[in-house]
Amino acid sequence: MNIGRLIRTTAATGAVALGLVAVSACASSDAADGKENGKLKVVASFYPMEYLAERIGGDHVSVSTLTKPGVEPHDLELKPRQTAELGEAGLILYLKGIQPAVDKAIGQSEAKHKIDAATLTKLETHQGTDHGHDHGTEEHGTEGHSEEDHDHASEAGGDPHIWLDPVKYAEVAKGVNSALAKADPDNSAAYQKNTDALVGELNTLDAAYRQGLKSTTTKTFITTHTSFGYLAERYGLDQEGISGVNPESEPSPARIKELQALAAKEKVTTVFFETLASDRTAKTLADDTGLKTDVLDPLEGITDKSKGDDYVAVMESNLTALKKALGAK
């Protein structure tokens, strides 16, 4: 027997084993810290939260979303793997009041860092936007907010569609930056830089909306989904829903008559529908009233049908549609 070769082989085998143990230990440490390959694991509830996480986190985060493209977020039911994924996250980013199943799962999750975007800006109430989801008095588990700070998020009927107002979305972005910095302080400078860039783009978008909608023939628009309350209020418009918050529910004959009268009085030209729901209701009303139809995207998800490949692009398309429908001068 070659004793020298045996010793070298044994030593090499031991070194490999130690290496595997070290790699395994690093992987376990990563998982315990909510990281994957050195990147913070961020789980976002649906597209508007996913977009913020990706833009602000940049190369330092690994982002996954619970709501896949083309899925209507309000109706989402989580699979066991998705529920487990919440427990492995370094940060969970969600918006309470949009997805009941997600709210429940996150409330039961033991993840250290959770941020409810509804606590990062002031929720308001808008006509026809009561989703019937009571924020309740439970803890949100968010960073740096007292129960007093949470009061606005627990108001019954608070409209959760804050991302459709670029100004409010910028406020949320700043809060997400703080949450990322707390969960991953080593990369806080990068998060701040990315936030500044995003907020700059949102400010530019806000300016475009203000200028584009400053002078129009009418201020009223009709939509199948009453999710544009913040946008309407920000830019001096009036949102009129066909039949409430359900974009596919059929309006009553009385409601159709009301909308016909409204369209004539306010010089409404267009009935808007969204990309993730049927356009049948919008087209039925348009046929009955002699109006046109067009897409006004509530940006709950990006699909092949979306008029843009990200938040800013779709919001710009929405502005173009609104200017045309409202008779911008």
| Together in a domain, 41 and 173 | yes
Give the per-residue pLDDT at 91: 98
> Model confidence over 23-54: pLDDT tens digits?
444 444 455 578 989 999 999 999 999 999 99
What's the pLDDT at 156? Answer: 46
Long-range own/partner contacts, residues 111-115 (CB < 8 A, 24 or more apart): 111/34, 111/86, 111/87, 112/34, 112/183, 113/34, 113/89, 113/143, 113/179, 113/182, 113/183, 114/140, 114/141, 114/142, 115/91, 115/142, 115/143, 115/175, 115/176, 115/179
Residues 228 and 174 in one domain: no
Residue 303 lies in a domain: yes
Domain assignment of residue 15, yes or no: no
User: How many domains does the structure of the chain reveal?
Assistant: 2
- 218 and 294 both lie in a single domain: yes
Residue of higher predicted confidence among 286 and 152: 286
Q: What is the pLDDT of residues 127-153, one digit of tens each?
A: 755 443 333 333 333 344 433 333 333
Residues 156 and 234 in one domain: no
State whether the Cα torsion 255-261-266-269 is positive or negative.
Answer: positive
**Model's pTM, two decimal places?**
0.83
Together in a domain, 44 and 160? yes
pLDDT at 277: 78
Q: Does 175 or 144 have the greater pLDDT score?
A: 175
Residue 276 lies in a domain: yes
Lowest mean pLDDT among 4-8, 59-63, 212-216: 4-8
pLDDT > 70 in the chain, percent: 79
Give CA–CA dist 201/195, Å, rounded: 10
Query: Regarding predicted confidence, which is higher, 184 or 149?
Result: 184
Q: Report pLDDT digits (tens) over 72-115.
A: 898 899 999 999 999 999 999 999 999 999 999 999 998 999 99
Report the CATH number that the domain containing residue 272 is assigned in CATH.
3.40.50.1980
The residue range of the domain holding 277 is: 213-326
CA 44/CA 313 separation, integer angstroms: 20
